[in-house]
Every structure is written in C-alpha cells, then in structure tokens.
Amino acid sequence: MAPRSIVSKLGVSVTLGAVFTIALLLVVVPIQQRKLLRENLISELESIASALSISVQFAIEQENLGLLAQVNSFMSGNSDVTIAGIYLIEGGRALLSLSFRQTSVSTTCRKIS
C-alpha cells in the first residue's frame, strides 16, 4: 500500500470543507434568511395594524374626521400596506365598514354599504 502524500490528504480535506461551506451558503443560509424575513414582515404588519386599529378606534370614539384623514394619509404614504379594512363589531358580527386599497397611483377609500 503506497503512502499518500500530505498534499493529497490536505487537498481532499480542503475540497470537502469547501463543498460543505458552499452547500451551507447556497442552501441553509437562504432558507433561514427567508424565514427571518417573513417573521419580521409579519411582525411589522401586525404592529402597523395595531397602530391603525388604535388610531381609528380613537377617531371614531372622538368623532373626529381629521384623525381619520390622518389615517388615510398614512395609508397613502406607507408602501408596506397595500390593503386595509375597518371592521365594526356589532352584536357579535364583524361588518366591513371601510376598505383602503393602495394602487400604483393613489390610495382609494371605499365605504362599504
């Protein structure tokens, strides 16, 4: 049995390490990044929804249309939110009262009757 040289032993080890590292960078890291991005996006949208909910609820309680106009301007200026709805809960039923949909040109507000 011929002894293997140190160069071939080292070459095989470095090659296996490089293949493992490349596989890790091409497969595992993007999967984890997508997972974290999704979690962060969901968290951010939940925070925005909570803030909008509190603002709209306060505006309705105060009967202040200026505050609702501020919510509308926030919706038009925020590129993260593409659609939102205001639901009124009466008698255990949730009714869609207003819907905000952001288009490429402007934000439209539609009252649901």
At which residue do the structure tokens 């091409």 appear?
26
C-alpha angle with apex 41: 37 to 45, nearest 5 degrees? 175
Q: Confidence class of residue 35 from pLDDT cuts 50, 70 and 90?
A: very high
pLDDT digits (tens, 9 = 90+) for 7-27: 888 888 999 999 999 988 898
- Which residue stretches of 1-113 are H helix? 6-23, 29-62, 65-77
Query: pTM of whole model > 0.75?
Result: no
